[in-house]
Homo-oligomer: A and B are copies of this chain.
Amino acid sequence: MSNLPRKHLFDLPDGMIYLDGNSLGPLPKGVSEAVQKTVEAEWGGQLIGGWNACKWMEQPSRVGNQVGRLIGAPAGSVVMGDTLSIKVFQALAAGLQMRPDRKAILSDTGNFPSDLYMAQGLARFKDQGIELRMVEPEDVAGAIGEDIAVVMLTEVDYRTGRRHDMAAITKAAQEAGAVMVWDLAHSAGALDVEIEASGCEMAVGCTYKYLNGGPGAPAFIYVRPDLVETVEPALAGWLGHDAPFAFDLDYRPGAGIERMRVGTPPVLQLAALEEALKVWNSVTMKEVRAASVHLSDLFISEIEARCPMMSLVSPRDCAVRGSQVSFAFENGYAAMQAVIARGVIGDFRAPNVMRFGFTPLFLDDGDIIRAAEIIEDVMVNKLWNTPEYHARKAVT
């Protein structure tokens, strides 16, 4: 018997069908109270004593273990902190340090731009001929030569929802002697990721999408258990030090995954995230994934039957698709504004992509049908074709 959906665990505005949990998850019930307690009773009541009394210092590892459970990572292999861009930098730098004789980072043009930008900034700063090589997503496996130090890919394409074959690409990378880094931004909380089983060296991800941690929720980094004691932190902050409160003058990496911490943890954001993660209790990722496939397939068939002007850009085969479905439409930006104005929240990605995310914790078949009806009304009756929707500034 499925535990899904669990709408009662979320505070969703009345009448809204939220198909954008892949961009920013909604507010789980209890989170506001948990944050208020952290602010008033912990910070306000304990002040500096909160670091010990309220176990703030352990938040990054404690919450890391909770996230780890959802991506198939064992305790002690995931730690929270910073932003996903910073975690990408950490992973790339560590990967290059594992393969000092190689100069190339391989990624694909479907990767989220910030991952590519971080690689570019890192390469310019290191200034030793490090090259970011970008190929089309379908050409990745064939492009992993023996000069590649690190393969860095996002499993699910943020625009199309196309999903890489994690096992096959990881295997190809490792056969070529490259380090494999997966970005799980659109995977964690959506797919039944088994990151340890994949064998990849490192993975990173964010928690404000499917994990509902709230705006600005911290990122995570996973390091394969056999590497946590040797991985070299380029961002060598004091909270990754072996003994932060000894205040030694020289850096000495901490035990295990703790070394991937950098500075002071974002205590309020972590309190929100930790409470938000409770919605995953007693649900399995296999169950979530099955429901996501069902909702996505239903949406595709409904939209294709109703809206011939929208063309599917996501893979039709659910095996190679994440938990979002995208359609191309020439006036997609204005159309999405008109759809949003009617309470169906998706988002737009340049140049012409209308993107919809399927998050089975709070969506059911009725939501999908109702959303399709509203989209049909907007599209068939061209309700988007007004100056208001054309002129509006791009949403984030």
Contact = CB atoms under 8 A, between A and B. Distances in A.
A37 to B, nearest CB: 10
Contact of A32 (B36, B122, B215, B244): B36
A340 B49 CA distance: 10
Interface string A141-175: 00000000000000000010000000000000000
A72 to B, nearest CB: 25
B44 A32 contact: yes
Contact of A113 (B40, B206, B238): B238
A16 B26 CA distance: 39
A318 interface: no
B43 A39 contact: no
Nearest to A25: B47
Contact of A125 (B49, B126, B245): B126
A204 to B, nearest CB: 11
A9 B220 CA distance: 36
A109 interface: yes
A235 B32 contact: no
B262 A85 contact: yes
Interface stretch (A306-314, A324-332, A344-352, A372-380): A344-352
B235 A121 contact: yes
Contacts of A56: 215-216
A396 B245 contact: yes
A268 B23 contact: no
Given A26-B47, A113-B241, A118-B237, A266 B264 contact: no
Interface string A194-228: 00000000000010100000111011000000000
B27 A31 contact: no
Given A86-B235, A264-B208, A48 B32 contact: no
A255 interface: no
A395 B128 CA distance: 42
Given A44-B32, A48-B347, A265-B216, A122 B24 contact: no
Interface string A262-292: 1111111110100000000000000000000
Contact of A269 (B247, B262, B266): B266
Contacts of A42: 215
Interface in A50-79: 50-52, 56-57
Contact of A238 (B114, B122, B345, B395): B114
Q: Which of A42, A263, A266 has the most B CB atoms < 10 Å from its CB?
A: A263
Interface of A: 11, 13, 16, 18, 20, 23-24, 26-27, 31-32, 35-36, 39-40, 42-45, 47-52, 56-57, 82-86, 89, 93, 96-97, 109, 112-114, 116-118, 120-122, 124-128, 134, 159, 206, 208, 214-216, 218-219, 232-239, 241, 244-251, 262-270, 272, 340, 345, 347, 349-350, 393-396
Given A24-B50, A245-B396, 20 more contacts: A18-B47, A24-B48, A35-B268, A39-B214, A47-B345, A48-B395, A49-B340, A52-B395, A83-B264, A85-B263, A86-B86, A109-B249, A113-B247, A118-B235, A121-B234, A121-B236, A121-B251, A122-B236, A124-B234, A214-B267
Q: What 7 A-B pairs are tightest by C-beta distance, nearest first?
A: A121-B236, A83-B263, A114-B238, A215-B267, A85-B263, A27-B44, A216-B266
6 contacts: A31-B39, A117-B237, A118-B237, A121-B251, A125-B126, A134-B249
